[in-house]
A = this chain, B = another copy of it.
Amino acid sequence: MNRAEFDLDQLLRIAGEYQGYKINIVDLRRFLALLLDEQPIDLWDYTRKSDLYIRTILSLLYALEREKFLYIDGAGMMSLAQRGGSLADFLGIRKTAKPFIEKKQWYGWELTPEYKEILEIIKELYKRVNPQYQYDQAPLVPEAAVYKVAYGIEKGDFTGKDVVCIGDDDLTSVILALSGLPGNVLALDIDKYLLETIEEYSEKNRLRIDTREHDLCKPVPENLKGRFDVFITEPPDTVTGISLFVSRGVELLKESPGMIGYCGISLIACPPQGLLEIQKNLTNMGLLITDRIPKYSDYPPHRTELKHVEVPDCYDDFYPPEKVWYVSDLVRVKTAIGAKRMFEIFDGDIADYNSDAERFA
């Protein structure tokens, strides 16, 4: 068999036309290799394990199923059809004998009893918060929020520090305050109702949390500028959303090298060229990426940042998903000398995923 026999060009063209996002042979190889390693696997586990952009995954799913390289069984499990196996073979793709016996979530780090108690409180409090679609809110699962804060505590970043939570639908301000470790904690959010929930819990339990209603598209209030040692955020996963929230973070941090920021960034939501643009922006702001822990943070299955992305018809019965599939990398940054904000005012859409797909095709 040769390449022409399979007509890879046509396959890639079909995939590329499905969402208007160009797919190349490297994407195809990567898609097939993971499928060969993990099959049978459903789309959600696949997406969680893959490092491909969601449009790439869905486009290849569409094209490979249409062209009978891949089939989906009644339980939503995807496998290579015989023809798919031949294609993988032809492309020199082989199954990998995994080198590690087991890989546990959160690297097997177990919370102490004290932090397990905090997790239980946060789980209860999550029930009182309704994510607001109009603000593009999409909280992490409670475990992920606690593990994210715990990562920073373990790093020695929060103890005795003034921390600002930039957008706080994950309730990181409450987790931080319950740990008793930071100095001051500020929750900055556009959502009055969310802040009221935080205030109410905080007052009842005598926690030290300040709240401030603020639209992050607008400049940071003068009296908050340069006041914090650390920011923590989980922005909309767009180039603009991440760059803007981090830029606000830089503005809120003390003007000294060595200040810290935590930000979730997802490979799933953002095209590779867009991710590089984010890295360029971080670098230009004078932020050193000290940690980038892949797929550290889980989002709940139904409510995700990617409400606009449609699953192809061949998979429609299994949408919406019922398990975690959308995850973000935990990125830690440190200010260098001369770190500076990127945005002053911003007038646009911070959650325009379609525009990213076009701009960074």
Contact = CB atoms under 8 A, between A and B. Distances in A.
Nearest to A97: B114
A335 B181 CA distance: 40
Interface stretch (A69-77, A219-227, A286-294, A301-309): A286-294
Nearest to A156: B33
A355 to B, nearest CB: 18
Interface size class of A (residues with CB under 8 A): 35 or more
Nearest to A294: B291
A294 B290 contact: yes
Interface stretch (A60-68, A100-108, A186-194, A231-239): A100-108
A202 interface: no
Contact of A101 (B97, B112, B149): B112
B115 A110 contact: no
A340 interface: no
A258 B258 CA distance: 32
Nearest to A295: B291
Given A33-B156, A275-B288, A276-B283, A256 B26 contact: yes
Interface in A262-305: 267, 272-273, 275-276, 279-280, 283, 286, 288-294
Nearest to A336: B276
A183 interface: yes
A36 B36 CA distance: 50
A210 interface: no
Contacts of A155: 51
A258 B288 CA distance: 23
Given A276-B283, A288-B276, A183 B92 contact: yes
A336 B26 CA distance: 12
A181 B290 CA distance: 31
A98 interface: yes
Contacts of A98: 112, 153-154
A195 B321 CA distance: 52
A337 interface: yes
Contacts of A181: 94, 96-97
Contacts of A286: 276
Contacts of A108: 104, 107-108
Given A156-B37, A183-B92, A288-B272, A30 B97 contact: no
A304 to B, nearest CB: 21
A293 B257 CA distance: 22
A348 interface: no
A114 B258 CA distance: 43
Highest count of chain B CB atoms <10 Å: which of A93, A96, A104, A180: A96
Interface in A147-206: 149-150, 153-156, 159-160, 179-181, 183
Nearest to A115: B99
Interface in A88-138: 92-104, 107-112, 114-115
